[in-house]
């Protein structure tokens, strides 16, 4: 049994999109990866429309079982957080129209899942995504690699047992009690810290 996951690293300037197919033995294969976005200064409605049309196309083309979206959390730059949240809303709504479940994962969870460390930098995440997917070169820009990392994280977390929780419950529930890799165990610890608010 395999699970097809579309990972989305939301943003107005760059929205990373990555689709992976993950088998029951956790072997992950790249299906598609890309980035869509707009330049700063473009009207907000136009920026959101670009993202909306892109996600609609990706959903119809790749027909994922589930979407994995980065969970928005507080940062110093409020305007960046607002833009990320707006982009996330467009993506989640597009999935909802098709009845596709959406799961939310924090950056710490994703880093821990693919690298074994919740404090890994983007370069480390990119390198591990390249290794996990057996690619010849690292996906660029970093938003593309992050989207793939989100997809991998969700599939590994679910144990490829099904589409998983919806957006409202994505971070609730324990990781599988058995058959975990060391990285998955570290992910579970990172998730526990995230629940306590220590990102």
Under 8 Å between Cβ of 186 and 117: yes
Residue 9 known to be catalytic = yes
Catalytic residue among 9, 21, 146, 191: 9
- Say whether 65 counts as a known binding-site residue: no
- 56 is a catalytic site residue: no
Q: Could you identify the residue written with the tokens 């939310």?
A: 104
Catalytic residue among 65, 70, 109, 191: 70
Active-site hit among 65, 109, 143, 146: 143
Residue 143 assigned to a binding site: yes
Active-site residue, 60 included: no
**What residues pair up with 66 in beta bridges, in sequence order?**
5
Asked whether residue 70 is marked as a ligand-binding residue, the answer is yes
Residue 34 neighbours by CB distance under 10 Å: 15
SS3 percent helix, strand, coil of the chain, rounded to 5, is 45, 20, 35
Q: What values do phi and psi take at 37, rounded to 5?
A: 175, -175
Place of tokens 């404090």: 119
From the annotation, which residues make up the binding site for Mg(2+)? 9, 70, 143
Catalytic residues: 9, 70, 143
From the annotation, which residues make up the binding site? 9, 70, 143
């Amino acid at each position: 049994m395999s699970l097809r996951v579309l990972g989305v690293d939301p943003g107005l300037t760059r929205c990373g999109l990555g689709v992976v197919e993950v088998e029951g033995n956790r072997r992950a294969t790249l299906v598609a990866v890309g980035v869509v976005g707009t330049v700063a200064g473009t009207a907000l409605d136009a920026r959101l429309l670009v993202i909306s049309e892109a996600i609609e196309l990706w959903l119809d083309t790749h027909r994922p079982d589930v979407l994995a979206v980065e969970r928005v959390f507080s940062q110093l730059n409020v305007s960046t957080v607002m833009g990320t949240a707006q982009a996330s809303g467009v993506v989640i709504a597009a999935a909802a129209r098709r009845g596709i479940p959406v799961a939310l994962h924090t950056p710490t969870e994703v880093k821990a899942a693919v690298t074994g460390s919740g404090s890994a930098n983007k370069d480390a995440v990119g390198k591990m995504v390249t290794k996990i997917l057996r690619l010849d070169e690292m996906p660029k820009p970093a938003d593309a690699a992050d989207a793939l990392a989100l997809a991998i994280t969700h599939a590994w977390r679910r144990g490829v047992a099904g589409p998983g929780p919806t957006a409202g419950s994505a971070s609730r529930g324990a990781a599988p009690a058995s058959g975990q890799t060391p990285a998955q165990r570290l992910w579970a610890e990172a998730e526990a810290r995230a629940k306590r608010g220590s990102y």
